[in-house]
């Protein structure tokens, strides 16, 4: 019981104690008025009836309200209010002389009960059909409200719960079709609610649904045109919040790059002015990098580190620093790993990536004309290098060498490691 109901109950109890015959007088007045209304019909007049009653003005107002409330109950028993019934109610209200907003208040109270029953039937089968929508419209018109205003004013919570239930039912199979979304929007309109009401009802669950869909889409590391179109459609119609939408956009962009790389279409960038690209050369990557050269000498292992920039084009790998500059053909790259290779080989920390290159001696190019005559593999050296795993590339930059120019591993006597400063290198480029 709310505060208003509690106060009314207390006042009623006090009144009964002070004037125990009050309820009897009101009931007698109500009976007399109903009897004369039924007998006189359109000729009914209230004044002659009141003259025969011993009742206060306040008690008379309550008796008139009870008479009108009884008429409302009879009229709305079938959950319908025809034009003739509405006209009859208007006559009774006028003949009783209901004061101020008493008539409107009683009408809205009766309409709430009717709408509650109509919505209960609609919610039970999960569909708002045309007849139910028209029914709600007639009731709203009778009380002088719009259908949406009536539902929003008294059944907003119930309406949102109904729409949420429809949405969860539609996405229960892990997919939301355009036909299911159209039906959901139609149900919203038939309730008289706005699209904003629908979005408010499903917002949190819609975001979780799109997150699940996108997780499934990216599970294979590829993004088809159909998948991208579907995800973007979901983001649009479900009005995903801006912050979450930006995250999805970044993921889509990155996944599209991976897909293009796997299909042999490498991303390209406009190189900075300080990088001297050759004529017609395509640059796929440019970023800060550390070049680490590991050499096994008779005096022991020697590690040299150089800080500079690295670039990958369609035919070569270029490293430039103040101390060392080198250009390596992509044919010489035998491994590209997005995290450390052999432990202790180059002291590379996790989250970076390495390139392992053939040294010039591995090509066996002693012929000045450039014809390759590979040396006979050194089995002892091969066993030392073979345990370095070749992992699937995890960033577009780390995929370039393998996708563009797959090269057979050739053992040799030199290992060159390149470490980038960034684990997600391609994200810094405008592909």
Count the Cβ atoms, other than its own, within 10 Å of residue 207.
Answer: 18
Both tokens assigned to 188: 């919203």
**Residue 365 resides in a domain:** yes
Examine the domain organization and report whether 168 and 101 are in the same domain. Answer: no
Residue 279 has pLDDT above 80, yes or no: yes
Mean pLDDT across 48-65: 87
The answer to the question of residue 270 being in a domain is no
Residues 123, 185, single domain; the answer is no
Query: pLDDT-based confidence at 346, cuts 50/70/90?
Result: very low
**57 phi and psi, to 5 degrees?**
-65, -40
Same domain, yes or no, for 325 and 258?
A: no
Question: Does residue 218 lie in a domain region?
Answer: yes
190 contacts: CB under 8 Å, gap ≥ 6: 128, 129, 130, 132, 133, 136
Tens of pLDDT, residue by residue over 371-414, are 334 444 443 333 222 222 223 333 444 344 333 333 333 333 33
| 306 and 411 inside one domain | yes
Rounded (to 5) percent helix, strand, coil in the chain: 55, 15, 30
Q: Domain for residue 142, yes or no?
A: yes
Closest CA to 249 of 236, 260, 262: 236
Task: For residue 244, give its domain range.
Answer: 159-262
Domain count, the chain: 3
Q: How confident is the model at residue 141 (pLDDT cuts 50, 70, 90)?
A: confident
Tell me if 10 is assigned to some domain: yes
- In tens, the pLDDT along 324-338 reads 888 888 888 777 665
- Give tens-digit pLDDT for 282-308: 998 888 888 888 888 889 988 888 899
- The yes-or-no verdict on residue 80 having pLDDT over 50 is yes
* CB 75 within 8 Å of CB 107: no
Task: Answer with the one of 102, 124, 154 that is the final residue of a domain.
Answer: 154
Q: Are residues 143 and 163 in the same domain?
A: no
């Amino acid at each position: 019981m709310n505060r208003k109901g509690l106060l009314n109950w207390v006042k009623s109890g006090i009144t009964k104690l002070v004037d125990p015959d009050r309820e009897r007088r009101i009931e007698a007045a109500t009976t007399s008025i109903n009897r004369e209304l039924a007998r006189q019909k359109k000729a009914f007049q209230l004044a002659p009836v009141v003259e025969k009653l011993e009742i206060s003005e306040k008690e008379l107002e309550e008796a008139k309200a009870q008479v009108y409330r009884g008429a409302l109950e009879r009229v709305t028993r079938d959950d319908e209010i025809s034009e003739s019934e509405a006209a009859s109610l208007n006559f009774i209200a006028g003949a009783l002389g209901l004061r101020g907003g008493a008539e409107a208040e009683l009408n809205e109270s009766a309409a709430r009960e009717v709408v509650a029953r109509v919505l209960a039937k609609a919610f039970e089968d999960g569909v708002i059909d045309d007849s139910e929508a028209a029914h709600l419209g007639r009731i709203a018109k009778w009380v002088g409200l719009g259908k949406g205003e009536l539902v929003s004013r008294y059944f907003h919570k119930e309406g949102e719960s109904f729409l949420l239930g429809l949405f969860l039912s539609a996405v229960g199979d892990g997919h939301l079709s355009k036909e299911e979304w159209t039906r959901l929007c139609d149900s919203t309109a038939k309730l008289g609610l706005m699209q904003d009401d629908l979005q408010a009802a499903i917002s949190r669950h819609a975001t979780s649904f799109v997150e699940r869909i996108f997780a499934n889409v990216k599970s294979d590391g590829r993004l088809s045109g159909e998948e991208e179109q579907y995800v973007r459609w979901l983001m649009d119609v479900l009005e995903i919040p801006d912050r979450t939408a930006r995250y999805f956009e970044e993921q889509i962009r990155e996944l599209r790059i991976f897909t293009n790389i796997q299909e042999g279409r490498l991303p390209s960038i406009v190189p900075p002015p300080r990088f001297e690209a050759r004529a017609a050369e395509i640059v796929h990557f440019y970023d800060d990098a550390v070049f680490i050269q590991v050499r096994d000498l008779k005096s022991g292992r020697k590690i040299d580190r150089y800080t500079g920039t690295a670039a990958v084009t369609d035919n070569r790998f270029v490293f430039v620093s103040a101390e060392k500059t080198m250009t390596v053909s992509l044919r010489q790259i035998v491994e590209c790993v997005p995290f450390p290779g052999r432990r202790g080989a180059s002291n590379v920390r996790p989250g970076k990536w390495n390139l392992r290159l053939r040294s010039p001696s591995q090509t066996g190019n002693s012929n000045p004309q450039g014809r390759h005559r590979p040396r006979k593999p050194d089995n002892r050296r091969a066993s030392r290098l073979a345990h370095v795993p070749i992992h699937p590339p995890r960033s577009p930059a780390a995929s370039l060498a393998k996708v563009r120019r797959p090269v057979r591993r050739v053992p040799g006597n030199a290992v060159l490691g390149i470490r980038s400063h960034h684990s997600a290198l391609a994200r810094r480029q405008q592909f």
